[in-house]
Amino acid sequence: MDDPLQKLTALFAKFPGIGGRQARRFVYFLLSRDETELKRLGAMIADIKRDITQCPSCQRFFPKSDLIKESKECKICRDSARDGSLLIVVEKDNDLDSLEKSGTYEGHYFILGGTVPNVEKEVPRFIRIDALKKIVAEKTKSGNLQEIILGLSLTPAGEHTISYLRTILSPLLANTKVQISMLGRGLSTGTELEYSDSETLKNALLNRHKE
Amino acid sequence: MDDPLQKLTALFAKFPGIGGRQARRFVYFLLSRDETELKRLGAMIADIKRDITQCPSCQRFFPKSDLIKESKECKICRDSARDGSLLIVVEKDNDLDSLEKSGTYEGHYFILGGTVPNVEKEVPRFIRIDALKKIVAEKTKSGNLQEIILGLSLTPAGEHTISYLRTILSPLLANTKVQISMLGRGLSTGTELEYSDSETLKNALLNRHKE
Amino acid sequence: MDDPLQKLTALFAKFPGIGGRQARRFVYFLLSRDETELKRLGAMIADIKRDITQCPSCQRFFPKSDLIKESKECKICRDSARDGSLLIVVEKDNDLDSLEKSGTYEGHYFILGGTVPNVEKEVPRFIRIDALKKIVAEKTKSGNLQEIILGLSLTPAGEHTISYLRTILSPLLANTKVQISMLGRGLSTGTELEYSDSETLKNALLNRHKE
Amino acid sequence: MDDPLQKLTALFAKFPGIGGRQARRFVYFLLSRDETELKRLGAMIADIKRDITQCPSCQRFFPKSDLIKESKECKICRDSARDGSLLIVVEKDNDLDSLEKSGTYEGHYFILGGTVPNVEKEVPRFIRIDALKKIVAEKTKSGNLQEIILGLSLTPAGEHTISYLRTILSPLLANTKVQISMLGRGLSTGTELEYSDSETLKNALLNRHKE
């Protein structure tokens, strides 16, 4: 297959959520743009890693222009106004973006980079488990950390990852004051009681709160 | 309009969730059934209130055959094995059915019969507020009740009803040990962090739990 | 199961397109209406066949009040302004309603009462094939009929019914001038070329028209 | 905004059918790939116009490797086995791909490059009307062309484009034997009679065919 139309279509078809037909629309879309725009997009993609770096603490991607001389960390990790006693472990950068946009979390992050599929031996291939262990060890030693929130989605893969992380983290935290916590389960905005599954109803009752 | 086809269609179109076209399909469906079946269905509908009664405590509908001599209450309200310290207020019978099916609630119920639309003066037209006040007064006096759970859906109408019920119930409970509680809010089964609204993320964080 | 709540729920669950949960909502809805309304609905259902009759020609259901002394036929079949040379065979009364509402058909109808499932011996159980043969024989003899349109949906069941009707009707029409026709296939309103299946594209090309 | 993450997100958000959140997922996806892959994708995008050319006849994009010395035309336009008496005008390359995949069309193509929005003066900005006029003039002169099929989608924009093309093409074809035709309208695969709009039912009846 030496047809560049098909080759580029195949590359776009690897993008998350993109099928063959939409990938082809992307190619035709690009062919309708002018040369300058294509050169610019192509260069940005080729060089994106030159301009973006990854935070050694939380693992998120951020622009190098946010770096300061004294640190390799991202703005969030460097921010002394944030609550260093909390560390939330999330799956991906988009999850961090959603939490930041909601303005409801003031602690630190760790981006796992994926989830653990159901039965799997080579976990490190899927998630940044060594980096997580290292950061937890550091933060535990420095004496500040009090709680690690396992902030995974309530999907089967997310729940499997939660139980995997527990097996790994529990022994590391055995002689510390650091506790593992989970996101609250219950009714989410818009949920109707009648159509809720038993698990959600159970959690809505268990986690009820008085005022 | 004296056309019985159209008249029956119009009656079915009042059923919850049924539009004109489906109402008409119902009529044609009935016309394809035999006489005996139609007589039976017609009689059951005409007489449904003769065979079903409403529990004076929780207000739910139940078959008269469940009645015992000594009481007008339904099986659930009479059941001494259930936890009399809990009373959950729900919108409708289907909500009670869902909770019972989930097997996660052991207390008593009160079925409000509706919700309070946004700004509304004649609330009693929509919900059984007087019956609720009466049952709360009785249960408070008997000394058993400890918690009233406002078990409404997390829809705008449900949330408005919650705040209305609080205004009504708070003064009644002023000198009692009875507390008002709300269903836990947070992630429900299947929820992905990335697509959650800020309110749900906030509650998931607030209601997080350690183990 | 002697619980009338469950018995009535089970009856509603047989209605077209209605599942168990919605059936139960119907029952609770009825319990919330007043006695008079229930008696009225029950009576209408029980007596619907007393007020409605079925046209011996097209088989559709219509109110007896539309009958005239001289005929047992419905308004459409009696209407001398309609084109007696055309007979369209449709699956159900709702299809006739849609065609009448569209105002685009001036001929006569025959309502088959169902479709022929894929492989099936006892066809008469599903469709009014004998009544169809009889009406076709009559209309052929009277010399007026010129075309029978097989107006079934383009679903697998509809297409199977079309080929079944052909096998039955072709020999009956062998020595007549009556032709069998099919609804035009092609793009329907809103269809985008890019997302059309090959069969639809083929028909759109085959049935193209000049102006 | 000098943040490369946001700049690349903004570029992807211009892609057809892509919103802000998915655009951002694309960027994070790319950051997770290795350098070599990014360089390759970037180069392919920057150079796509170098490897792809546009057919001067049908206007479609195709790989330069398909070119032969004697012609600037694409494989389809050069193919003497195809029916030169037919020319179908479609909106975009994807429509041509769908038709070719369906294997039901043997004539030539012209890709308009867009549709004509409802009321619009500067039509040439949206569609290749001059190229169409030129190709029609050439094909008319050479005496081979017999029919131009207006192969637009049955959307409002498509229908508006059809009537615009007619206004433009009719005078050009006045003294020729070339006819303008439209794709057949009617039921498409899967369509149910009951849920069809009046326009579709009308066309299904008008375009009915005998066998």
Q: What is the pLDDT of residues C45-64, one digit of tens each?
A: 999 999 999 999 999 999 99
Please give the helix or strand (H or E) that residue A61 lies within, else none: strand A61-63
Specify the CATH number of the domain D4-47: 1.10.8.420
Of A155, A182, A197, the CB nearest to B192: A155
Q: What is the rounded CA–CA span in Å between residue D204 and residue D208? A: 6
φ, ψ for residue A199 (rounded to 5)? -60, -45
Q: Which residues of A11-31 are buried (b: 16+ CB within 10 A; e: fewer)?
A: bbeebeebeeebbbbbbbbbb
**DSSP annotation string for C125-178:** GTS-HHHHHHHHHHHHHTT---EEEE---SSHHHHHHHHHHHHHHHHHTTTSS-
Task: Name the residue ranges covered by the structural domains of chain B.
Answer: 4-47, 82-182
Q: Which residue has the tokens 């499932």?
A: C117
- The verdict on a CB contact (< 8 Å) between B208 and A184 is yes
User: What six digits make up the tokens of B27?
Assistant: 């009529």
User: Chain C closest CA to B126's CA: distance in Å?
Assistant: 12
Q: Which tens digit of pLDDT belongs to each residue from B157-187?
A: 999 999 999 999 999 999 899 999 999 999 9
Answer yes or no: are the C-beta atoms of C27 and C5 closer than 8 Å: yes
What pLDDT does D136 receive? 95
What residues in C contact D201, CB-CB < 8 Å? 98-99, 102, 104-105
Answer yes or no: are the C-beta atoms of D57 and D71 closer than 8 Å: no
The tens-digit pLDDT sequence of chain C (211 residues) is 578 899 999 999 999 999 998 999 999 999 989 999 999 999 999 999 999 999 999 999 999 999 999 999 999 999 999 999 999 999 999 999 999 999 999 999 999 999 987 765 566 667 899 999 999 999 999 878 999 999 999 999 999 999 999 999 999 999 899 999 999 999 999 889 998 999 999 999 988 888 6
* Three-class DSSP category at A62: strand
Residue B68 is classified by DSSP as B
C46 and B CB contact within 8 Å: yes
What pLDDT does B108 receive? 97
Average pLDDT for chain B: 92
pTM of the complete model: 0.78
User: Chain A closest CA to D188's CA: distance in Å?
Assistant: 21
Q: Which tens digit of pLDDT belongs to each residue from D131-176?
A: 999 999 999 998 789 999 999 999 999 999 999 999 999 999 998 9
Q: Which tens digit of pLDDT belongs to each residue from D90-105?
A: 999 999 999 999 999 9
Distant-in-sequence, close-in-space partners of D87: CB < 8 Å, separation ≥ 6: D107, D108, D109, D110, D135, D136, D139, D145, D147, D148, D149
Helices of type H across chain C: 4-12, 20-31, 35-51, 75-78, 93-102, 129-141, 156-172, 198-206
* Three-class DSSP category at B164: helix
In this model, does residue D1 exceed pLDDT 60?
A: no
Separation in Å, CA A48 to CA A30, A64, B39, D42, D48: 19, 11, 74, 10, 19
- The verdict on a CB contact (< 8 Å) between B35 and C49 is yes
φ, ψ for residue C209 (rounded to 5)? -135, 145
- B122 pLDDT band, cuts 50/70/90, is low
> In terms of Cα–Cα distance, which of C159, A110, A151, D58 is closest to B192?
A151
Query: Which ipTM did the prediction report?
Result: 0.86
The larger pLDDT score, comparing residue B211 to residue D58, is at D58
**DSSP annotation string for D139-184:** HHHTT---EEEE---SSHHHHHHHHHHHHHHHHHTTTSS-EEEE--
- Residue type present at position C112: L
Q: Which residue has the tokens 């492989």?
A: C119
**Top CATH class, B82-182:** alpha beta
What pLDDT does C210 receive? 82
User: What six digits make up the tokens of A34?
Assistant: 């002018």
What residues in B contact C54, CB-CB < 8 Å? 31
**Top CATH class, C4-48:** mainly alpha
Count contacts between C and D (CB, < 8 Å).
186
Residue A33 is classified by DSSP as S
Residue B66 is classified by DSSP as G
CA atoms within 13 A on the CB side of B186: 30
B47 and C CB contact within 8 Å: yes
Q: What is the CB neighbour count within 10 angstroms for residue B148? A: 27
The larger pLDDT score, comparing residue D123 to residue A181, is at A181
Of A16, A26, A44, the CB nearest to D7: A44
Task: Show which of residues 50-109 on chain A sit within 8 Å of chain B, judged by CB atoms.
Answer: 90-92, 94-95, 98-99, 101-105
pLDDT cut 90: percent of chain D above it? 83
Q: Which residue has the tokens 């759109």?
A: C204
Q: What is the rounded CA–CA span in Å between residue A44 and residue A47? A: 5
Question: How many residues belong to chain B?
Answer: 211
Nearest residue of A to residue D65, measured between CA atoms = A3
Contacts made by residues B65-69, CB under 8 angstroms, sequence distance 24+: B65/C2, B65/C3
The tens-digit pLDDT sequence of chain A (211 residues) is 578 899 999 999 999 999 998 999 999 999 989 999 999 999 999 999 999 999 999 999 999 999 999 999 999 999 999 999 999 999 999 999 999 999 999 999 999 999 987 765 566 667 899 999 999 999 999 878 999 999 999 999 999 999 999 999 999 999 899 999 999 999 999 889 998 999 999 999 988 888 6
Helices of type H across D13-88: 20-31, 35-51, 75-78
What pLDDT does C143 receive? 77
Q: What is the CB neighbour count within 10 angstroms for residue A182? A: 20
Nearest residue of A to residue B179, measured between CA atoms = A210
Any idea which fold D82-185+196-211 has? Dna Topoisomerase Vi A Subunit; Chain: A, domain 2 (3.40.1360)
Chains that touch A (3 or more CB pairs under 8 A): B, D
**DSSP annotation string for D71-131:** BSS-HHHH-TTSEEEEEEEESSHHHHHHHHHHT---EEEEE--S---SS-S-GGGTS-HHH
What residues in C contact D180, CB-CB < 8 Å? 210-211
In this model, does residue B126 exceed pLDDT 90?
A: no
What pLDDT does C36 receive? 95
**DSSP annotation string for B81-148:** TSEEEEEEEESSHHHHHHHHHHT---EEEEE--S---SS-S-GGGTS-HHHHHHHHHHHHHTT---EE
**Top CATH class, C82-211:** alpha beta
In this model, does residue D13 exceed pLDDT 80?
A: yes
Max CA distance (Å), chain D = 67
C182 and B CB contact within 8 Å: no
What residues in C contact D209, CB-CB < 8 Å? 181-182, 184, 207
> In terms of Cα–Cα distance, which of C194, C154, C162, C161 is closest to C181?
C162
pLDDT (mean) for B54-67: 94
Cα three-residue angle B54-B56-B59, rounded to 5 degrees = 55
